[in-house]
Amino acid sequence: MRVLGVDPGLTRCGIGVVDGGRNRHISCVAVGVVRTPPGDELPMRLKAVADAVEQWMDAHQPEVVAIERVFSQHNVRSVMGTAQASGVVALAAARRGLPVAFHTPSEVKAAISGSGRADKRQVTLMVTKVLGLSEAPRPADAADALALAVCHLWRAPMTSRLAAAEAKAAELAKAHRQRLRDARRSSAGRGDPTR
């Protein structure tokens, strides 16, 4: 499976492509950062992010897009920009019919380092090690994008099994409710012979 990981942002938007195979074997295909000038108008910055992400999608043909879920921070302005960048990435994926998965920062940190409280240095170190890179991806946004892709690759099988189990449980519950309704109708139709 090929995953495009995106660490959304307006000033720096990290992008990484990772291939995953059997036995958790993974490899880095490409990594980079989309930068937009803070002085530009918001629509132009969002367009620049969207254009770059679409170019990456065209060039690398991912099967799924993993985006960091916007998490509340102290700086509302920063959260808004991150959410808007996340939205244009999700839209670009939807236009291509690509599934989109959102992962929280703590999920990504736990998947890549074993701790949901890992700092950026630890995440970068583990991404470098796990992907067998000769040097650490810079800046941290690039490493975070790769971490998102790796997180998705490692979590996707479990998530799929959970979804299948939930669907099967819902199907069994529906069948059980139908049997109960049928049994009630059947007993109501027979009436009470003691009356």
| Residues classed as catalytic | 7, 68, 141
Q: Which residues are annotated as a binding site?
A: 7, 68, 141
**Which residues are known binding-site members for Mg(2+)?**
7, 68, 141
Q: SS3 for 75?
A: coil
Decide: helix, strand or coil at residue 11.
coil
Coil, helix or strand for 169? Answer: helix
Q: Mind giving me the DSSP string for 111-158?
A: HHHS-TT--HHHHHHHHHHHTT-SS--SSHHHHHHHHHHHHHHHHHHH
Specify burial of residue 19 (Cβ count, 10 A radius: 0-12, 13-18, 19+): middle
